[in-house]
Structure 1
Amino acid sequence: MRATSMALLIIDMQNDFVLPKGVLHVAGAQATIPVIQRILHVFRQTGRPVFHITREYRPDGSDVENMRRKKFLEERPFVVPGTWGWQIAEQLTPLPGEYRIIKNRFSAFMFTELDLMLRRLGLAHLVITGTQLPNCVRATVFDALSLDYEVTLITDGCSAQTPEIAAANIRDMAHVGVQCMDSKQFLNGL
């Protein structure tokens, strides 16, 4: 692994996804916080770039994707700026100098400045954590591969609604060239 050109992406670790009271709670998300904290700590200590990828919708729901729009408008809005659900989980709060990329679709690359920022900073290797595997993590991973980034997925630092869903997605990503490893393997290899 070329550690000098490596960036950490933390995807959608916001209260609405991570905590049980969240509107779009992902069952396995909260358990990944300590793992992500360990990886984040190492990136901070070594001065490597950290990107907090967050989802955000307008209060009127005009930018919510069609599949979620009804839930947003008829039940309860989610990840609206300034709300509790929009906030990043407290244990992963960004520090000054860390990047925040705002998205309103699955992939962190779609309609965002992520690719521009990574290329401007000379970053070729992405270490990916967050929630959830079959949606935002997977879409980001596949777009990263399509854009010729080297990708490492921290398997115990990503979540899905069930272990079976997580395992299936990890297996699929490993078959297309993603380095899939747990946090201990990753940290031992740095």
Structure 2
Amino acid sequence: MTESRDALLLVDMQNAFFNEDGLAEQQEELVEAANRLSDAARQAEVPIFVVTTVHSRDESTWTLGMLAAGEGFLFNGDEGTEVVPGLDTSNTTRIEKTRDSAWFATDLHLRLSNLGVDRIVLAGVSTHGCVGQTARDAYAYNIRTTIVTDAVGDSRDDYHREQLSHLEDDGQAAMATVDEIIEKWTGA
């Protein structure tokens, strides 16, 4: 068996998500955690992907909920779509998605396959939505997932805890802390 190769995915670290009560209070802590992970990833030559949600104004990418409400959001060029202040995106690759999963209708699988990645490390928001769905879909692609428990957040703590518990209990994701990931990548 060949040696395992990781990639770091920073999911939906965008202004609009942190405007939500519950997440706004976590922004500084999550940005700091994401930056610590990114610094260690760069040092260890682990590829970093900044995964963002971006929609078209013409409704062609809208979700059923957006269509039902008659209102879209996260449009290209809007301030809410931009990554949060302080997030270091240097030497990263951007993946734009229109659904919860970073895998749905993107070239993420191709990129990871080309890089020989067989495990993703997830940080970002929201645990019960985009982070959880990305982890579940990684499992479907036979890509191992580790969720960095102190680098993911949700507007509702009960959703956050339940999602992490379900993913771990179902064997679809392992859990680790920022310090544990950094130690694995850098030995520090």
Normalised TM-score (structure 2): 0.88
Is 1:131 the equivalent of 2:129? Answer: no
Pairing 1:1-190 to 2, within 5 Å after superposition: 5-18=5-18, 20=19, 25=20, 27-28=22-23, 29-30=26-27, 31-71=29-69, 73=71, 77-96=72-91, 98-177=92-171, 178-190=173-185
Contact 2:101 2:131 in 1 (8 A): yes
60-69 or 4-13, which deviates more: 60-69
SS at match of 1:61: coil
Aligned equivalents of 2:147, 2:88: Cα separation in 1: 21
In 2, Cα distance between the equivalents of 1:72 and 1:135?
A: 21
- Cα deviation, 1:7-48, whole Å, max 9, x if unaligned, reads 000111111112x3xxxx262351311111111111122221
Q: Shift of residue 161 of structure 1?
A: 1.2
Checking the alignment, whether the CA contact within 8 Å between 1:26 and 1:160 is kept in structure 2 is: no
Once superposed, what is the RMSD of the aligned Cα atoms?
1.9
| Letter aligned with residue 103 of structure 2 | F
- Deviation for aligned residue 1:145: 0.6
**What is the aligned length?**
180
**Equivalent-residue separation in structure 1 for 2:5 and 2:70 (angstroms):** 39
Aligned mates of 1:46, 1:15 — CA distance in 2: 28
Using the TM superposition, give the Cα deviation of residue 187 of structure 1 relative to its aligned residue in structure 2, in angstroms.
2.1
The residue type equivalent to 2:157 in the other structure is P
**Preserved CA contact (<8 Å) 1:61 1:72:** no
Shift of 1:186: 2.3
Identical-residue share of aligned pairs (%): 24
- Distance change (3 Å), C-alpha of 1:72 and 1:86: farther
The farther-off stretch of 170-179 and 86-95 is 86-95
The structure-2 alpha-carbon separation of the partners of 1:60 and 1:50, relative to structure 1 and needing over 3 Å to count, comes to same
Distance 1:4 1:132 in 2: 27
Provide the C-alpha distance between the structure 1 equivalents of 2:156 and 2:180, rounded to a whole number of angstroms: 23
- List gaps (5 residues or longer) in structure 1: none
Q: Following TM superposition, by how much is the alpha carbon of 1:164 offset from its aligned partner in structure 2, in angstroms?
A: 1.8
How does the TM-score come out when normalised to structure 1? 0.87
- State the secondary structure of the residue aligned to 1:52: strand
